[in-house]
């Protein structure tokens, strides 16, 4: 149950990571990109999770084009509902993208321009927001989702004529109600010279209410020169000149805000082969020019300390997750042991009461059966709880310890 609750909460929160939906159509099928977030994988790679809606088609396959024209194919499809899915890509750390091509089953390729990196400024500073790089939902001792921990990535540029000092405490994360959350981890204070900029740096926010959705990032919040990046209004698709080149004419496949539908005539990327059953399915390793070794997504995610339970996939599309298999195996083993115990106790009880009358036998069995049932239920519940408690999950402390290493 904990895994189901966590998965549902993550799915509900996905749209707020980049809350400006993008949409494309081939005239029949409609593909909608609701948002995307990243999660650490190792020192050089990340997992990009894209929330995609499907209308007018049962399935689709995808290709993602980055700023260097490298093509990536999905490593995992995770079905949320029949017309909504999470698509996982393994990408180089800090990579930027410009185009997603979707091929609906039996349809034509649909090209959707990726989101431009939002930026806002005041008279001295320009803040670029690169999105969420880690998002953890932390259960309490009863395995009930309690609070969130969110890591975002930014870059600060000094457009002024004097040095500017920037600290993590200068930034505030705002939820959908405007409630402010201050950072609990981040980069070292930086002095930025005129016309200079920081590298991409990380800000960590913990203790965020499970009901809060990140809606904006503010610099010098409520100050005279505050900068606010709105995660909805400040997101927009890349222009065609960035995606297709400066001399390209406007593409009919350009992304538009939902619910517009744009017909597509010519695909930009080579069309992938349609996939059949994509429910919680690990995709085969792509034959493209990327240098990332995909391997098993489940093993990769386990190596990154399983920040989100149930993220991993399997090379067998029908295989259950490792956590689910462990729970099922433990329950089955416990049931077998308890069934054997029940049979032995029943046999012993029969032997001990064989000389009694039938009424005495029935009376003596009542308390024994009640005790046995209580024991069986208690043992089964204890085994299940112990198995669930062994499920890897992330904590704010774990996230805080990883912030410094991720920002290097």
pLDDT band at 146 (very low <50, low <70, confident <90, very high): confident
Q: Each residue of 249-262: pLDDT tens digit?
A: 544 444 444 543 33
Q: How many whole angstroms separate alpha carbon 186 and alpha carbon 339?
A: 54
- List, in order, residues 6 or more apart from 163 with CB less than 8 Å away: 191, 192, 193, 194
Mean pLDDT (whole number) for 289-311: 43
Mean pLDDT (whole number) for 164-185: 96
Which of 295, 314, 341 terminates a domain? The answer is 295
Q: How many whole angstroms separate alpha carbon 223 and alpha carbon 172?
A: 12
Q: What confidence score (pLDDT) does residue 214 get?
A: 95
Residues 108 and 128 in one domain: no
Q: What confidence score (pLDDT) does residue 337 get?
A: 54
Q: How many whole angstroms separate alpha carbon 253 and alpha carbon 261?
A: 10
Q: How many whole angstroms separate alpha carbon 340 and alpha carbon 338?
A: 5
Q: What confidence score (pLDDT) does residue 47 get?
A: 96
- pLDDT exceeds 90 at position 98: yes
Residues 171 and 86 in one domain: no
Q: Per residue in 43-76, is it b (16+ CB within 10 Å) or e — as a string? A: eebbbbbbbbbbeebebbbbbbbbeeebbbbbbb
Q: Does a structural domain hold residue 306?
A: no
Residues 177 and 270 in one domain: no
pLDDT above 90 covers a percentage of the chain that reads 51
For residue 160, what is the domain's CATH number?
2.60.40.4110
Q: What total number of domains does the chain contain?
A: 3
Q: Does a structural domain hold residue 112?
A: yes
Q: Does a structural domain hold residue 191?
A: yes
Q: Does a structural domain hold residue 311?
A: no
Q: What confidence score (pLDDT) does residue 57 get?
A: 94
Q: What confidence score (pLDDT) does residue 336 get?
A: 61
Mean pLDDT (whole number) for 72-83: 95
Mean pLDDT (the chain, rounded): 73
Residues 277 and 348 in one domain: no
Domain that holds residue 211: 119-234+394-407
Q: How many whole angstroms separate alpha carbon 54 and alpha carbon 49?
A: 16
Residues 97 and 18 in one domain: yes
Looking at residue 20, the DSSP 8-state letter turns out to be S
Q: What confidence score (pLDDT) does residue 296 get?
A: 47
The answer to whether 184 and 173 are in contact (CB under 8 A) is: no
31, HSE (Cβ side, Cα atoms, 13 Å): 32
Between these two residues, 388 and 155, which has the higher pLDDT value? 155
> Alpha helix (H) ranges present in 253-353?
297-303, 322-352
pLDDT above 70 covers a percentage of the chain that reads 55
- pLDDT exceeds 60 at position 33: yes
Residues 192 and 100 in one domain: no
pLDDT band at 40 (very low <50, low <70, confident <90, very high): very high
Q: What confidence score (pLDDT) does residue 335 get?
A: 53
Q: Does a structural domain hold residue 316?
A: no
Is the peptide bond prior to 259 cis by the omega test (within 30 degrees of 0)? yes
Supply the pTM of this predicted model.
0.62
Q: How many CB atoms lie within 10 A of CB 251?
A: 18
Residues 108 and 245 in one domain: yes
Sheet architecture: strand order including 30-40: 256-257, 22-25, 30-40, 45-55, 84-92, 76-81, 281-282
The H helix count followed by the E strand count for the chain is: 6, 22
Q: How many whole angstroms separate alpha carbon 245 and alpha carbon 239?
A: 10
Q: What confidence score (pLDDT) does residue 34 get?
A: 95
pLDDT band at 124 (very low <50, low <70, confident <90, very high): very high
The answer to whether 116 and 237 are in contact (CB under 8 A) is: yes
Q: Each residue of 224-233: pLDDT tens digit?
A: 899 999 999 9
Structure tokens that stand for 293 in this block: 């070794």
Q: How many whole angstroms separate alpha carbon 87 and alpha carbon 281?
A: 10
Structure tokens that stand for 393 in this block: 């999950």
Structure tokens that stand for 141 in this block: 């001792």
Q: Does a structural domain hold residue 135?
A: yes
- List, in order, residues 6 or more apart from 2 with CB less than 8 Å away: 139, 143, 144, 309, 388, 391
Mean pLDDT (whole number) for 382-391: 46
Question: Which run of H or E residues covers position 406?
Answer: helix 396-407
Residues 79 and 138 in one domain: no
Rounded to whole angstroms, what are the CA distances from 44 to 134, 148, 292, 312, 394? 15, 25, 9, 19, 21
Residues 227 and 139 in one domain: yes
Nearest to 20 by CA among 131, 182, 153, 143: 131
Q: What confidence score (pLDDT) does residue 378 get?
A: 54
Q: How many whole angstroms separate alpha carbon 156 and alpha carbon 268?
A: 34
Q: How many whole angstroms separate alpha carbon 181 and alpha carbon 103?
A: 40
Q: What confidence score (pLDDT) does residue 29 get?
A: 96
Could you identify the residue written with the tokens 């416990």? Answer: 334
- pLDDT exceeds 80 at position 374: no
**From 103-107, 148-152, 374-378, the region with the lowest mean pLDDT:** 374-378
pLDDT band at 144 (very low <50, low <70, confident <90, very high): confident
Of the ranges 83-87, 145-149, 401-405, the best mean pLDDT one: 83-87
Between these two residues, 354 and 191, which has the higher pLDDT value? 191
Q: Does a structural domain hold residue 314?
A: no
- List, in order, residues 6 or more apart from 43 with CB less than 8 Å away: 93
Q: Per residue in 380-404, is it b (16+ CB within 10 Å) or e — as a string? A: eeebeeebbeebebbebeebeebbe
Residues 102 and 127 in one domain: no
The answer to whether 7 and 268 are in contact (CB under 8 A) is: no
Q: Does a structural domain hold residue 356?
A: yes
Looking at residue 115, the DSSP 8-state letter turns out to be B
Residues 149 and 215 in one domain: yes
Packing angle, helices 358-389 and 322-352, rounded to 10? 160
Burial-class residue 281 by CB neighbours within 10 Å (0-12, 13-18, 19+): buried
Computed on alpha carbons and rounded to an integer, the radius of gyration of the chain in Å comes to 26
Residues 249 and 107 in one domain: yes
Which of 295, 312, 341 terminates a domain? The answer is 295
């Amino acid at each position: 149950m904990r895994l189901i609750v966590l998965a549902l909460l993550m799915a509900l929160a996905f749209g707020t990571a980049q809350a400006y939906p993008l949409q494309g159509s081939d005239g029949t099928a409609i593909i909608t990109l609701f948002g995307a977030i990243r999660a650490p994988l190792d020192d050089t790679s990340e997992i990009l999770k894209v929330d995609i809606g499907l209308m007018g088609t049962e399935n689709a396959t995808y290709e993602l084009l980055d700023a260097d024209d490298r093509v990536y194919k999905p490593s995992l499809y995770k079905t949320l509902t029949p017309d909504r899915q999470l698509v996982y890509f393994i990408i180089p750390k800090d990579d930027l993208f410009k185009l997603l091509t979707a091929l609906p089953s039996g349809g034509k390729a649909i090209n959707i321009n990726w989101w431009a990196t939002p930026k806002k400024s005041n008279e001295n500073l320009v803040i670029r927001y690169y999105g969420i790089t880690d998002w953890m939902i932390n259960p309490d001792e009863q395995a009930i989702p309690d609070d969130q921990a969110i890591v975002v990535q930014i870059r600060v540029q000094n457009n002024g004529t004097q040095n500017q000092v920037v600290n993590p405490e200068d930034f505030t994360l705002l939820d959908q109600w405007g409630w402010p959350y201050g950072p609990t981890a981040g980069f070292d204070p930086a002095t930025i010279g005129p016309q200079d900029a920081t590298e991409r740096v990380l800000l960590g926010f913990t203790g965020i209410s499970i009901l809060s959705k990140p809606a904006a990032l503010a610099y010098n919040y409520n100050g005279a020169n505050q900068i606010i990046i709105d995660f909805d209004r400040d997101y927009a698709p890349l222009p065609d000149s960035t995606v297709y080149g400066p001399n390209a004419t406007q593409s009919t496949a350009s992304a538009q805000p939902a619910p517009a539908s744009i017909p597509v005539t010519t695909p930009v990327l080579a069309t992938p082969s349609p996939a059949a059953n994509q429910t919680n399915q690990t995709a085969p390793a792509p034959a493209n020019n990327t240098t990332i070794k995909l391997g098993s997504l489940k093993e990769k995610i386990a190596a990154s300390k399983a920040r989100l339970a149930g993220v991993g996939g399997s090379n067998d599309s029908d295989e259950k997750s490792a956590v689910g298999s462990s729970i099922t195996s433990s329950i089955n083993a416990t049931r077998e042991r308890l069934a054997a115990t029940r049979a032995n106790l029943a046999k012993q009880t029969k032997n001990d009461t064989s000389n009694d009358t039938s009424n005495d036998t029935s009376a003596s069995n009542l308390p024994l059966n009640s005790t046995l049932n209580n024991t069986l239920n208690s043992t089964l519940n204890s085994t299940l709880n112990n198995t669930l408690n062994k499920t890897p999950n992330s904590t704010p402390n774990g996230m805080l310890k990883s912030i410094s290493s991720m920002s290097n």
